[in-house]
Each structure stands twice: as structure tokens, then as C-alpha cells.
Amino acid sequence: MCRFLAYRGEPVFMESVVCLPRHSLIHQSLHAEEAKVATNGDGFGLGWYGERREPGVYRELRPAWSDENLLSLCRLVRSPIFFAHVRAATGTATMRANCHPFIHERWMFMHNGQIGGYASIRRKLEALLPDEMYAARAGTTDSEIVFLLIVARIEAGETPVEATANVLRHVKHMMAEAGVKEPLRFNAAITDGDAITAFRAACDERPPTLYFCERSEATIIASE
């Protein structure tokens, strides 16, 4: 499983959350303790909001622990809201377009988990994407499809919670129809640059770990 964190609060340099803590995301990329595998070396990504409406994003195939550009970026960029993610691939290609976070206009999303039997329902999921969302898809992951389906529902008037619940309901229905026995596990966070909505769910009651820390100046959501 992947590992991630989300931050919202007073602007801070990203290194204070991503790099410096004892169980930082950089540490988890090589020594994750609450995951199926200790190493999350199939790429990483950062997404942050600054003075523009759309988020900035930096994604790379190299492991997070070995990328000097990541350390430099985190040391110099200060933001009030940002995502960071280290990837452990679950059956899809290791390429930059498959690294999180994913963005569409002002929306940003990242995911830790899997859609069981994704290959058997992928075509049906893709058929649900509106034309503009299908054209926006760059990678091959289940995470990106779920994100675009959620955004499509949000743009149709649903809240992020409603949209996510409805998408997961459709996914679980398709899995059942296809006779999929593997579980759906879904830890995720989505933001429009203002509020962050985070989710922890699984159909087998074994979702990946997710924690949150509320302080007077900030809220942090993290996998470990």
C-alpha cells in the first residue's frame, strides 16, 4: 500500500511535515511500519496551493528517499495546504502519470488502497467517465479513474462526501457483478485548495491506517 499525508493550516515550509519528523513520509518511503510492504519506491508526488487557483504538482519516478530535488523543493516552498504521497504500485505501470497526487483544474486527490479485481471492471469504470474527464485522464490507475468520477459528480452538484460515497457504491456493485473476491480498500484525500475531505474505508473492515492531528494552527492527516 502507498503512504500519504495532507496538511492544512498556517503556511509552513513543506519540509517541516514531509521530511523532518521521525516518521516522516520520506522515512515511510523506505521504512513504512503500518503497511503490507515496508518500501514505497514506485514514485512519489507533491501537490500544493499558492497564489493561483490551481495547485502546483511535482511527481517523479525515483524513490522519494533518493531525490535531491524533492528535498530542495520541500525546503523552499511554503504553503497553507499541500499533499504528499509515496507509491507502492498494485498492478499498474510505474510511470510519472500514475504517481499521486492527481489534479483536475482546482481539485487535487490522492489515494492509498486498491480496487479489488480492477482489471475485470476497468472498462466499465472508464465507460462512466464523461467525455471531458476521459480526455483528461493521463495514467492507468484505479485511483485516477475514481478521482475523475468523483470530480464529475462534484461538478454536477454533489458534495465531496456524497460524490465519493456514490462512486464507491458503484464500484462495489461492479465488483459484486464481476464476482470479485478481492477487497476494496480506500484511504483518500481530496481538496479544492480550501477544505480537505479525507476518507478511510474498506469492504473487508481492514482499511489502511490513517491518522489525524488537530492543532490550533493546523490539521495534519497522515498514514503513519
Length of the chain (residues):
224
Per-residue pLDDT band for 21 (boundaries 50, 70, 90) equals confident
State which amino acid sits at residue 80.
P
Separation CA 140–CA 142 (nearest Å) = 7
Q: Considering 2, 19, 74, 99, which one is annotated as catalytic? A: 2
For residue 197, the model assigns a pLDDT of: 97
By CB atoms closer than 10 A (0-12, 13-18, 19+), residue 158 is middle
Q: Which three cell numbers stand for residue 147?
A: 478521482
One DSSP character per residue, the chain reads --EEEEEEEEEEETHHHHTSSTT-HHHHHHH-SSSSSS---S-EEEEE--SSSSPEEEEESS-GGG-HHHHHHHHH-EEEEEEEEE---SSS--SGGGSSPEEETTEEEEEEEEETTHHHHHHHHHHTS-HHHHHH--S--HHHHHHHHHHHHHHTT--HHHHHHHHHHHHHHHHHHTT--SPEEEEEEEESSS-EEEEEEETTS-PPP-EEEE-SSEEEEE--
Is pLDDT above 60 for 38? Answer: no
- Give the largest CA-CA distance in the chain: 49
| 4, β-bridge pairs | 85
Catalytic (active site) residue 2: yes
Per-residue pLDDT band for 40 (boundaries 50, 70, 90) equals low
Percent of residues, the chain, with pLDDT higher than 70: 92
| 7, β-bridge pairs | 82, 220
Q: Judge whether 145 and 96 are in contact, CB under 8 Å.
A: no
Question: pLDDT by residue (tens digit) across 118-156?
Answer: 999 999 999 999 998 999 998 899 999 999 999 999 999
What is the overall mean pLDDT for the chain? 89
| 107, β-bridge pairs | 104
Q: Judge whether 35 and 25 are in contact, CB under 8 Å.
A: no
By CB atoms closer than 10 A (0-12, 13-18, 19+), residue 180 is buried
